[in-house]
Chain A
């Protein structure tokens, strides 16, 4: 299995609070991705990174920001959490972007009350 960890694995928070999710990889892959998965919507890309300090938006980026200050860590921040952001968040990595297999982390289950 690819070396990807996500923290926390579960989190319950209240509306309006900031939340940061962390993705850590030990594979030295260039590309890192944040997805959310919801019933009826499948996996949707939030943001992705193609290198340190290089990030771009996905299809559902509103309300989220990301940072990547080193190869192994990709942070997802919800500046002010809303109930609509209750979801399962998956991080993924790949060596060569979409031409390559994406390996997923175990996921973070976030509940916003």
Chain B
């Protein structure tokens, strides 16, 4: 079966701009979680969506937002980009509570200049 698909793979933006990242989960997976990965902080939880509802949220500012559509695809938006937002953004899908671990996508590498 197809894995988790994230688009785009790479993105370069300037400070102050906004960006939207997309994640298509494995078919049948209703939970999508987003993580920010940086060398210094590791994998930090952003938020989780399940059946179009945000179920959990990490400690990130309100500039980071997301949504999930009825087909379980999810988007993440970052507004007013800062240099410190440069990171690898990973999404992971799971069946949510049915004993399956996350399956991660390949990530979107965001560089803010």
A pairs with B? no
